[in-house]
Each structure stands twice: as structure tokens, then as C-alpha cells.
Structure 1
Amino acid sequence: MPTDRISFKGHAGTLDARLDMPEGPHLATAIFAHCFTCSKDIPAARRIAARLTTLGIAVLRFDFTGLGHSDGEFANTSFTSNVHDLEKAVEYLNDRDMPPALLIGHSLGGAAVLKATSKLPQIKAVATLGAPFDPGHVTDNFASALPEIAAKGEAEVTLGGRPFRIGQTFVDDVKSEVLGPAIANLHAALMVLHAPGDNIVSIDNAGHIFQAAKHPKSFVTLDDADHLITRGEHAEYAADIIATWAKKYLSLKPPAPPIGAPEGVVRSSEADPNGYLQDITHGTRHHILADEPRAYGGTNQGLSPYGLLSAGLAACTSMTIRMYARRKKWPLAHVSVDVSHNKVHAQDAGTGSGDKIDEWKRRISLNGKLDDEQRARLLEIADRCPVHRSLEHSSKVVTELAPAA
């Protein structure tokens, strides 16, 4: 996904941000609000943004005031100032003619998007990950420093191995915030994602958020994920769930397919530059993952490229058989096709060469009250599958280099 480094005015200075753009048509815009003392670049934020861009959804990720590369002093911020920063992000995108319709918030960022959405009628959908129902919950992270903060007005605390100065204004603000009324007046679809074993923000917070919200609302468990969603498979799951859910509430209307590609363009885009995981999309409606087995350096989260080829052959074979049986009105109850791929010596395949070639083995199961003649005929029809013919006959691949981003 192309990523633009941008900045915009927050409530008290310039905020550093990244705008992740779709490689194809731009169909909608989202904002991701990070967790308490985190940044826009946490792995979960990057993965969710990458997945949404495959749907044509641009994603703005930004550092709240005083964090990351944004201006300001963190000690002078509060929950209310985070909400103001979110509102400024919406204003910035509106001014760029990219009005956001989806807000995603992680932890305290989740509480902030809930608060902000109640005042932003343009927002159609909100997703929270590990969000607290009571923003004051974050003070548990530095409870031992609260007496010093009360006595001196601020204190330095260590969070996630990094020092931060927390002010009394922040403590008072989060403790006084009540989210219930804002959640009840979201006027947007809500998805609550939370891990039962979250030891930073307990699962009961998700229950309170869900109960306070009106429909449409959804509750999804993140199973054994940690609060920061650090493991790749958990970030991938959250990204896929949010993307699939958001499509229902956003107007994602792609343009007509290009000339010469009646079914549209299939795009493969890296999901993890440190491995081989690929987001493969066909327009905005179809998405699958491709990967390599762990033995080959992948994470085994999707079919391998040859697995995808095998899947195409299997599906095409089954469809071709069904199409013929339906036209003949034959009693074919069910068809399944098993396909395996291997590299074999060409001489073993009868070509007279010692070079290796690709071999696909196909095992077709036909269920129903078919006679032997009908079965034999359907086996012949399998060889008329278009993918089968493409694999057996020579094909042409035309390659061009896209202009540098």
C-alpha cells in the first residue's frame, strides 16, 4: 500500500501522521486511534490499515499530542484532548475531500473514538479493540504514582519500558469521563473486539460497552490475544474481521473493470514485508490470503501460489461438471475434486525430455444415481474445464513495470 507521510494541526500543535492509500480506486476513508502511550506505528495498526486498503479504504494513522513525532507535551494532554485531536483529524480529511466514515480505536483510543463519534454524524461505523468502558481505568497502569501526581501536579512514570510524565489534569479528566451516554448515542454501527485474557483492560469493559450501545452492534472475541495484539495471527484476524464487517456499512462502489479484464483485476499486495503473506483481492467483494509454509519461511496463513493454482483447477473442474450435468438433467447429487501438485521429470510424463514439468493429479468424486456411461462422460467433460486447458496448452504472460510510487 502506498503510504504518505503527512501532518496536520491538532488541538495544540502539529500532529505526525501516515495516510495509507489503496493501490486501486479510493472508495472510503478511515481513522485509526492508537492505544495509551502507543503510536501510530504499532503492528496491529499497520496490519489493519493494510487490510482495509485492499478494500479501497484509505486509513489515517496519527500520533496523539505529545507522543511519537507529534508536537506538544504529553504531561499536558488529557482524554478530552485526545478526542479533540480525533476531531481535528476528521476536519483535516474533510478538507482534503476524503471524509472519514469509519473510526477504529485501540484501548484508550477506542474510548476516544466512542466519545468522538457521538458528535460526528458522518461516521457510519466504529470498531474498538480492547477499549475501556471507564477511561479512568488507565490510571491503574500507574496507580503507585497517583499520590505523587496529586502532591506535585505531575510525576514521571514508566509505561511499556518508557518514561512518561503524567499530569493531574489527565488523571482528573479520565476519572470524570462517563462514556455511557455517548455510546448510547453513537448513531453508527459498532463492533467491539476484546480478548478474554486481556490483563490490561478486562473483558467486562467490552460487555459494558456492548450493553450500552444500540443496534446494529457486534461482539467478537480475540481469543488468546494480548492487549497490544502483538502476534501476527491475532492482528491478521482482527484486520480481516473489521474489514469484512465494515463493508456492510460503508458505500464501497468500485468503478467499472478496465477494458480487456471483464472480471476485474486480481491484486496481490504484501501484508507482511518480513515474510511472504499476501493480501489477494478481486474488487471489493473477494479477499483471500496467500503465504508459504513455515518450512519455507512463511507463516502458513494462506494457500501457496501453487495451492491457488490447484484450487483454480479443482473449482473449475467441479463447475464444468455441474454445468454439463445440469444441462443434461442428470441426477448428479454432489461433486468434489481433489487436486495435488508436484514437479516430475518430463520423460515420466511421456514428453521425451529429462527436464522437470508441473503435474497436477485430479481425483473426481461423483455422487448420485448415475450410470457408468454418465460417469464416464462426466470424466471426459472434466478435461474441457477452461483452467485445465490453460494449464495444458501454452499461455502468455505479459509483464510491465508500474511507475514508481
Structure 2
Amino acid sequence: MPTERITFTGHAGDTLAARLDLPEGPHLATAVFAHCFTCSKDIPAARRIAARLATMGIAVLRFDFTGLGHSDGEFANTHFSSNVADLVAAAAYLEDRGMAPDLLVGHSLGGAAVLRAATQIDTAKAVVTLGAPSDPAHVAHQFDTHTDQITSEGQATVTLGGRPFEIRKAFLEDISNQNLSKCIASLNKALLVLHAPRDATVSIENAAQIFEAAKHPKSFVTLDNADHLITNPKDAEYAAEVIASWVGRYLTLTPPAPPPGAPEGVVRVSEANPAGFLQDVNAGPFHHALADEPLAYGGSNRGMTPYGFLSAGLGACTSMTIRMYARRKNWPLDHVWVDVCHNKIHAADAEAPAGQKVDQFRRKIHLEGALTQEQRARLLEIADRCPVHRTLEQSSEVVTQLA
């Protein structure tokens, strides 16, 4: 996933630091990601969601709000309304680049911010929230022991996530004056609400209130046992996959015509986790799968192995070939399924004599229906005409070049 380190001007004229995660193929749409309260653009959940959307052709801008992360400005001078203004500025920057945002994604208080900002970003067609509060004033509970000091003295230094932050009275006043319900009701965009029932920071009731206030189209998906920051990689992967599946309904993701010499288009495989072996496998913006290795081989077992994909290709092609023939002959084939097993002695690869087969695919074909023995035998013969079968049995040419 190519990433541009960029800057743009925030609501108060400060320089905001951002990453623009770009698709490795055609650019089909653009998203903006808003991080959680006092977090940054680089939290693991943001990186995984951005990476997954990029595989679909969606560029993702994730940035640090004023005074946070690598952005300039004083955090003490910011509040919820300034976060919203930073989001609007991010959208304007993208529009100036000819990449006006189609999707807004917000985590925690960033989720509340995108709900507010969405009414000012006309190009956005869909909004996603993760663990978002229905009322921005909810964040005040994180420093409620300092509320009296902030009110009486005008400010106080509070510790959030192990770091000191200066919270001023203007921040409390700003969040207390927000009313998201009317904003959500007039959103006029597709909405996806993601929330974990056991979220100890923002309770699940907030998701219910957001969902109830919104008009259709709207969707709610539980994040099960995820924590508020979605720190578990499996939870981040699940959230990313749900968002990717959902957003395809509401964004126009039309890929260009396939390049010459590739009539079925390009299958793009990219690392999902450089620390392991997990891979995103995409054939266009809508067909996605995960490839991985078993735990015993250092993988996380979250997708089929490369040889599993080979077996799947053989099984799918066999089933399709049989169905096409039976349909053409009008034979009573009710159902067909194919079991494929692959066997390979990995240690023998480098030592095998030239021409010796070290791979074996065992294929068991199941045919249901009132077929005669002659018809069944004929369909078994037809299975051997499966194009993938022929490709595997014959030599193939693999042409490789460095991009």
C-alpha cells in the first residue's frame, strides 16, 4: 500500500500531519478517517482499516487533529467543534486534489465528529462510526475528578492514556452545547454503526441512540469482545472487513477495463500484516479473500494457504465444468460438490529430480440426482476437461518482472 506523508492547513491555520494511503491499483473513491480522543492517525485499527479499503481502490486520508500526534497547534486550544472544522478542512484539501471524500470513518470521539462534519461535506455518501459516543459530552467522564478545578480555575492538567493533557473550560462548554441527535436525523447518508457490547469506555447504549436517531439506510454490527481501541488484530481485521463489505453498496466502485493480456483482470495480493504472512487477495473492488499460513508455519491461520487457493480453483472449475455439461445435455443433476486435497513433501522440493512431480491433488466428485451410470461416468470424464485441471497437469509459463 503506497502511502504519502502530507500536510494541510487545519481550522486555525496550523499545519496538520497526515498519511494518504493509496490503492496499489486504480483509485476509485476516497475516505477520511478521524481518530479517537487524544489518539493519533497511527493507531493499529486505523492502519488496518485504511489498508483494507485501499485494496478496494479507496484512498484513505488519516490525520492528526490540531495539537495531537505530529500536527502543530496547542491541544489546550482545541475542542469538539475544532475537530469538526479540521475534518471539513481535510475534505477541502482532498477536493482541491480532485479526490473529494466519498466516505467518512470515525473512531470514538472521532466518530461523533464525522457525524457532525458529514452535514458539511456534501460529497460524502456514507459514514461509519466505531465505538462512538452519541453525545460528545460523554468524554468528560475521563477527567470528571478535575471538572470542578477546570470550571473554577479555567483549566487543569489531566492524565489520559498515561500522558498529560491540558483541558480548558472552553472544551467543557463546547461539548456540553452539542446535540448530535438532530444532526444524525438529517444525515441523508448511509450509516454503519460498529460497537462492542463490552466497551468499557463508551457503553453500547451510545450505539443504540445513534442508530435510533438515524434514518435508513442504516446498519449496526457488533464488535463482540473488542476493547474500545480495537487493539486485538483479529478485531481490527473484522471491523475492516465489515466496513469494506458494507461500503461497496453505497459507493460507486467501477474499475477500469482490464489491461491487455489479462481478460479476467488483475488479481492483486498485498501484505495485510508484515509481521506475519497474512495477505489481502483482491480481484477488483468487490471480490476479497485472505491468504495465510497455519500456526505451525508461523502464520495466524486467518485465511487459506496458497495451495488451498490452488485446490479451491481446481474444485470450483471442476464443479462449473460438470454443471455446464449437464445443463447442456439437460441431465437430472441436482447438485455437485468437489472435495480437493493437496499433498506436497516440502523437504523434497529442492532435491527432486527435474520433471518429477512433487504435488498431488486428490479430487473426489459428488453427484446428486437421478443420473444413470453412463451419465455419471461421462460427467467424470468431463471433469478431466476442466481448464484448471489441464493447467495443473500441463506446464505453465510464469513471466515475472519487477515493478
TM-score by length of 1: 0.96
Letter in 1 for 2:369: G
CA contact (8 A) 1:344 1:359 kept: no
2: distance between equivalents of 1:344 and 1:226?
Answer: 42
CA contact (8 A) 1:343 1:356 kept: no
| Percent sequence identity over aligned pairs | 68
Corresponding residue for residue 77 of structure 1: 78
Instruction: Note the C-alpha offset of 1:142.
Output: 1.1
Q: Does 1:110 align with 2:111?
A: yes
Unaligned runs of 5+ in 1: none
Corresponding residue for residue 296 of structure 2: 295
Instruction: Note the C-alpha offset of 1:119.
Output: 2.1
Deviating above 2 A after TM superposition, structure 1's stretches of 4 or more consecutive aligned residues are: 351-356
Unaligned runs of 5+ in 2: none
Corresponding residue for residue 9 of structure 1: 9
Q: How does 1:222-261 map to 2 (within 5 A)?
A: 222-261=223-262
Q: How does 1:361-372 map to 2 (within 5 A)?
A: 361-372=362-373
2: distance between equivalents of 1:294 and 1:362?
Answer: 26
Q: Does 1:92 align with 2:89?
A: no
Q: State the secondary structure of the residue aligned to 2:246.
A: helix
CA contact (8 A) 1:270 1:279 kept: yes
2: distance between equivalents of 1:331 and 1:356?
Answer: 37
Corresponding residue for residue 161 of structure 1: 162
1: distance between equivalents of 2:163 and 2:370?
Answer: 70
1: distance between equivalents of 2:345 and 2:66?
Answer: 60
Q: How does 1:247-396 map to 2 (within 5 A)?
A: 247-343=248-344, 357-396=358-397
Deviation digits for residues 92-150 of structure 1 (CA, Å, limit 9, x no counterpart) = 00111110010000000000000011222221000000000010000111111112222
1: distance between equivalents of 2:97 and 2:328?
Answer: 54
1: distance between equivalents of 2:344 and 2:386?
Answer: 22
1: distance between equivalents of 2:356 and 2:245?
Answer: 45
Q: Does 1:125 align with 2:129?
A: no
2: distance between equivalents of 1:344 and 1:131?
Answer: 50
Instruction: Note the C-alpha offset of 1:356.
Output: 6.0
Instruction: Note the C-alpha offset of 1:326.
Output: 1.0
CA contact (8 A) 2:88 2:120 kept: no
Deviation digits for residues 134-185 of structure 1 (CA, Å, limit 9, x no counterpart) = 1000011111111222232211111112221111111111122110111011
Deviation digits for residues 260-317 of structure 1 (CA, Å, limit 9, x no counterpart) = 1111000001111111111111111211111111111111111010000000001011
**Cα RMSD over matched residues?**
1.6
CA contact (8 A) 1:291 1:301 kept: yes
Instruction: Note the C-alpha offset of 1:353.
Output: 8.1
Going from structure 1 to structure 2, the CA distance change for 1:255 and 1:154 (only over 3 Å counts) comes to same
CA contact (8 A) 2:276 2:299 kept: yes
Q: State the secondary structure of the residue aligned to 2:397.
A: coil
CA contact (8 A) 1:106 1:130 kept: yes
Q: State the secondary structure of the residue aligned to 1:118.
A: helix
Letter in 2 for 1:54: T
2: distance between equivalents of 1:326 and 1:5?
Answer: 55
Deviation digits for residues 175-209 of structure 1 (CA, Å, limit 9, x no counterpart) = 22110111011111111110111110000100110
2: distance between equivalents of 1:86 and 1:113?
Answer: 7
Going from structure 1 to structure 2, the CA distance change for 1:352 and 1:272 (only over 3 Å counts) comes to closer
Higher deviation after alignment, 289-298 or 352-361: 352-361
Corresponding residue for residue 34 of structure 1: 35
CA contact (8 A) 1:21 1:59 kept: yes
Higher deviation after alignment, 45-54 or 371-380: 371-380
1: distance between equivalents of 2:168 and 2:293?
Answer: 49
Q: Does 1:399 align with 2:400?
A: yes
CA contact (8 A) 1:344 1:356 kept: no
Letter in 2 for 1:335: V
Letter in 1 for 2:394: H
Letter in 1 for 2:203: S
2: distance between equivalents of 1:37 and 1:254?
Answer: 37
TM-score by length of 2: 0.96
Going from structure 1 to structure 2, the CA distance change for 1:352 and 1:103 (only over 3 Å counts) comes to closer
